[in-house]
Amino acid sequence: MNLETLNAMNLKDSLRVYQDRFADAGDFTFVFVGAFKLDQIKPFIQTYLASLPETDRIEKGRFINDTPKQGEVNVEVFKGIEPKSSVQLKFYGEAEWSMENRYAMRCVVDALRIGLRETLREDKGGVYGVGISGTLTREPKERYSCRISFGCSPEKTDELIDAAMEVVRKMQQDGPDEKIIKKITEIQLREYEKGLKQNGYWTSVFAFYTKNELDFRNILNFKARIEALTPSVIQNAAKQYFSSKNRLIAKLSPEKKPQ
């Protein structure tokens, strides 16, 4: 987003797009979660959902060829005067989408989060905060993207990038120790058991399983998957999803003052 894009926006065009998208509710899926009975909610569905417009148009997503640049990419931008640098390390590529692979990615992200915080924040003491995330997409193309980000003092940027990459390499070579496995499983079990009691959890899970045509019964099998987690699952995921084959190192540093 920039001023040029903002100035080009037109409220009439935005309204037209909105009206076009919601002119056909024929392929919408509605998820309701809460303390209600089917016979109580049925009249509302008949009144407010069955009356929504439908045009029978058939749509599908399309691939717009937005594949990231392949190989190792390094970008450095000098902008701003605040004495702070921001770093983004991104790893990406093609990968098979499956529930097993999604869970393996989640676990390696959790494991690396522990290692990165211990190394960058406690040992090196040079970051203002470190984040890590990973996604495995199914459409329009099966691929993955993982990100490590942190803010730091400009003079420590390269040192901390090397330290972060060393945490990744160690996970790829040795895998996690039992202490990390125990911590991950405890956190995931606690979040899962808490989620089972919350409407928001069931809403998101039902929507996800419906979209991906998955068996609802597997929702209740997630505890067994957590308890079956092994170090090799995380080690293999680290090798696959944090490979340096396709990697972006982006640095935002303060502008250099003229001599």
Q: Dump pLDDT digits (tens) for 186-195.
A: 999 999 999 9
How confident is residue 115, by pLDDT bands cut at 50, 70 and 90?
very high
Query: What pTM was computed for the model?
Result: 0.87
Q: How far apart are CA 26 and CA 133, in angstroms?
A: 34
Domain boundaries, the chain: 3-48, 72-253
- pLDDT digits over 150-209, tens only? 998 888 899 999 999 999 999 999 999 999 999 999 999 999 999 999 999 999 999 999
CATH superfamily of 72-253: Metalloenzyme, LuxS/M16 peptidase-like (3.30.830.10)
pLDDT number for residue 259: 53
Q: Which tops the pLDDT comparison, 259 or 95?
A: 95
Return d(Cα 168, Cα 245) in angstroms, integer. Answer: 14
Average pLDDT (101-128) is: 88
**Tens digit of pLDDT for each residue in 212-233?**
999 999 999 999 999 999 999 9
Least confident of 26-35, 53-62, 101-110, 213-222: 53-62
Q: How far is CA 25 from the centre of its chain?
A: 28
Res. 74 pLDDT band, cuts 50 70 90: very high
